[in-house]
Chain A
Amino acid sequence: MKRIYFPVLVLVMAIVLLQLLILVLDMNFLLTQITMSLYYTIVIVGLCMLMGYAGQISMGHAGFFAIGAYTQAFLVTVNLGPADISGFPGFLKSAGLLIARSTPSGEILSFSPWIAFVAVIIITVFFALDLGIPILRLKGHYLAMATLAFGIMIYTFVLAVDFLGMADGIAGIPPFQMFPGIALSGDMSARIPNYYIAAVVLIIVVTVAVNIINSRVGRALKAIHGNQLAAESLGINASRYKLGIFVFSAVTAAVAGAMLAHYNGSIGPSEATINKSVRFVSLVAVGGMDSIWGVVGMGFCLQFISLRGVFGSFDEAFFALILVITMLFLPRGIIRVEYFKSLVAWIRRLLKK
């Protein structure tokens, strides 16, 4: 039992140490990109469960990310009327479901971010079920194509629809006052608390993922990956488990999207592109598909390097390239427990000599 949570503990310590290191080096400006990378890592963990463990590919995960981000952004910025409204909206306002915010055109009412957040989850589950029930019968290339088409549909939709801002997206997303004194926002003075908000959500998602992997459900998922017919002959309802993990990974992507929308203060159609979906897939592949810690480590590092602009204009090309190289030379990923084990064995042999 303790063995499976040890890496979670390491992750927690790494997160704290990273923050202290940045504080000592006085490089707080790095925290912005680190926090964004943490949100993307949440998406990748969800996708890793779907691809690495259950063996089902999704080439449209940026679609779910965008559903989350756009739903949240739309609901917290929509104009529901003037702030001093009475009657039923006034009652909802006093109940905290609607909140007033000031815009250049005066005070208006919008949905509370918590309400929007619940809506994000409900809408994502709805989309994931609607999409998953028909397409999860497909395998391999066919599933990749169907999910790819879903991603394109979402991208085209957010680009074409007026109330989602078309090519401009939605800007001016207000801070998310999560608890008294804790606000999810891109405010420069709140970099450190926001780093920890993202980190806590990542730790929760990773812990849930580790729990699922090391359980009856995790075994069923791995069995479906290994041989679906044999899994079904043991009483495993493959389509239900595949749907379950598909919904899980869609919701993690949407939650990350919704939170990142608040953090960035804006959301645009570039977050919904196929390039982003390919990037998520390549990060899962580089991390080693069915090695959640490799995926967390590689996903976070590469995403951070990319956000720092190290790859310049070749950003997307770079991710496509690492996908090709990983598939050719390290189809099981760059970081794996086995590699460390053989490294340790090798060092032991050296020391004996």
Chain B
Amino acid sequence: MDKEAFEKMSLLSVTNINKHFGGLHAVRDVSFSVTKGMIKSIIGPNGAGKTTLFNLLSGEIRPDSGQVQFDGKKIYRLPPYRIATLGISRTYQTTRLFDHMTVLENVMTGAHLMGRAGFFACALKLPWTFSEETAINKKAVELLEVFDLLEFADEVAGELAFGIKRRVEFARACASSPKLLFLDEPAAGLNIYETIELSRLIPVIRDRGLTLLLVEHDMSMVMDLSDEILVLNEGARLVEGLPREIQKNTDVIRVYLGDEQC
């Protein structure tokens, strides 16, 4: 495949991205790309720089150097809300819901980018804002249905069980109709039933036309779901490939289990 066609296929391409925290080189020269419509996972031992890489790509931390191209646009060093506007959404390792708002309001906030109404229009409730609100509400209700959350719609998000909070966060992230969704350890803190439910939901999200980038420790889930896996170790790219290749790769086994095991 020539380079141009490849660029067209890849939704996100990261080239030689770097981040230092003081003396620590947290992410070193990492390059990879994500193809439209796939589920790609990033794995690696603790401290490998997975979450840092996510934060660099979503704009929460600014990279020191590198190139990031998303959907044909450079997103390197843009502020987080601009990156979100272009179509990247994310969830967090520890859920970050708006605790004092209801589940429905949380998901409606996710659909913020569907609307245009500013202070002036909202203050006067100009007639055209009504149809916008109705559309946002409809979208939110639809997502609550997809994630089986309708019964919790009017509950205050902060008072829900952890597994449900995570589903709300998913619904909220999907509500912004992103092209690319980052999931940061979606199975962390979930029990076995919730994890099974999650493994069912992730392909559902993908089938809605989203591309997924996943950081996860639950290996069986990663191997089942991923189309491609990127392995990081000590901030650098170790290998990249199909799940079955990664499972057999001696380098990967070494960094996870130590030298003696090989």
Interface size on B, residues (CB 8 A): 37
Please, which residues of chain A bring their CB within 8 A of the CB of B176? Answer: 234-235
Question: Complex: how many Å from CA A146 to CA B57?
Answer: 33
Query: Does A99 sit at the interface, judged by CB under 8 A?
Result: no
Please, which residues of chain A bring their CB within 8 A of the CB of B117? Answer: 215-217
A235 touches B113 (CB 8 A): yes
Closest to A244 in B: B119
Q: Which of A216, A222, A227 has the most CB of B within 10 A?
A: A216
Question: Given the interface contacts A212-B122, A217-B117, A235-B176, does A226 sit within 8 Å of B101 by beta carbon?
Answer: yes
Question: Given the interface contacts A222-B98, A223-B109, A226-B99, does A232 sit within 8 Å of B80 by beta carbon?
Answer: yes
Query: Does B227 sit at the interface, judged by CB under 8 A?
Result: no
Question: Complex: how many Å from CA A290 to CA B156?
Answer: 14
Interface string of A199-226 (1 = CB under 8 A from B): 0000000001001100111111011011
Question: Complex: how many Å from CA A281 to CA B87?
Answer: 39
Please, which residues of chain B bring their CB within 8 A of the CB of A234? Answer: 84, 89, 109-110, 112-113, 172-173, 176
Question: Complex: how many Å from CA A237 to CA B59?
Answer: 13
Q: Which of A219, A222, A244, A290 has the most CB of B within 10 A?
A: A219
B96 touches A229 (CB 8 A): yes
Question: Complex: how many Å from CA A248 to CA B80?
Answer: 25
Q: Which of B60, B92, B100 contacts A226 (CB 8 A)?
A: B100
Q: Which of B101, B136, B172 contacts A222 (CB 8 A)?
A: B101
Query: Does B90 sit at the interface, judged by CB under 8 A?
Result: yes
Q: Which of B58, B112, B132 contacts A220 (CB 8 A)?
A: B112
Please, which residues of chain B bring their CB within 8 A of the CB of A227? Answer: 96-99
B84 touches A216 (CB 8 A): no
Q: Which of A215, A222, A233 contacts B122 (CB 8 A)?
A: A215
Q: Which of A216, A230, A232 contacts B136 (CB 8 A)?
A: A216
Please, which residues of chain B bring their CB within 8 A of the CB of A226? Answer: 97-101
Please, which residues of chain A bring their CB within 8 A of the CB of B132? Answer: 216
Query: Does A231 sit at the interface, judged by CB under 8 A?
Result: yes
A216 touches B98 (CB 8 A): no
A230 touches B133 (CB 8 A): no
Measured between C-beta atoms, what is the minimum distance from B57 to chain A in Å? 11
Query: Does B129 sit at the interface, judged by CB under 8 A?
Result: yes
Please, which residues of chain B bring their CB within 8 A of the CB of A220? Answer: 109, 112
Query: Does A45 sit at the interface, judged by CB under 8 A?
Result: no
Measured between C-beta atoms, what is the minimum distance from B70 to chain A in Å? 14
Query: Does B210 sit at the interface, judged by CB under 8 A?
Result: no
Interface string of B94-112 (1 = CB under 8 A from A): 0011111100010011101
A233 touches B109 (CB 8 A): no
Measured between C-beta atoms, what is the minimum distance from A226 to chain B in Å? 3
Please, which residues of chain A bring their CB within 8 A of the CB of B79? Answer: 232
Measured between C-beta atoms, what is the minimum distance from A288 to chain B in Å? 12
Question: Complex: how many Å from CA A206 to CA B151?
Answer: 32
Measured between C-beta atoms, what is the minimum distance from A265 to chain B in Å? 31
Query: Does A256 sit at the interface, judged by CB under 8 A?
Result: no
Q: Which of A220, A237, A244, A245 has the most CB of B within 10 A?
A: A237
Measured between C-beta atoms, what is the minimum distance from A342 to chain B in Å? 14
Please, which residues of chain A bring their CB within 8 A of the CB of B119? Answer: 212, 217, 244-245, 248
The A230-252 residues at the B interface (CB cut-off 8 A) are: 230-238, 244-245, 248
Question: Complex: how many Å from CA A111 to CA B58?
Answer: 53
Please, which residues of chain A bring their CB within 8 A of the CB of B58? Answer: 233
A215 touches B125 (CB 8 A): yes
B101 touches A223 (CB 8 A): yes
Please, which residues of chain A bring their CB within 8 A of the CB of B15? Answer: none
Question: Complex: how many Å from CA A236 to CA B176?
Answer: 11
A211 touches B96 (CB 8 A): no
Please, which residues of chain A bring their CB within 8 A of the CB of B80? Answer: 229, 232-233
List 15 A-B residue pairs with CB atoms under 8 Å apart, sorted by A's residue number: A212-B119, A215-B122, A215-B129, A215-B133, A220-B112, A226-B97, A227-B98, A230-B96, A230-B98, A231-B98, A233-B80, A233-B81, A234-B113, A248-B119, A290-B100
A residues lining the B interface (CB < 8 Å): 208, 211-212, 215-220, 222-223, 225-227, 229-238, 244-245, 248, 290
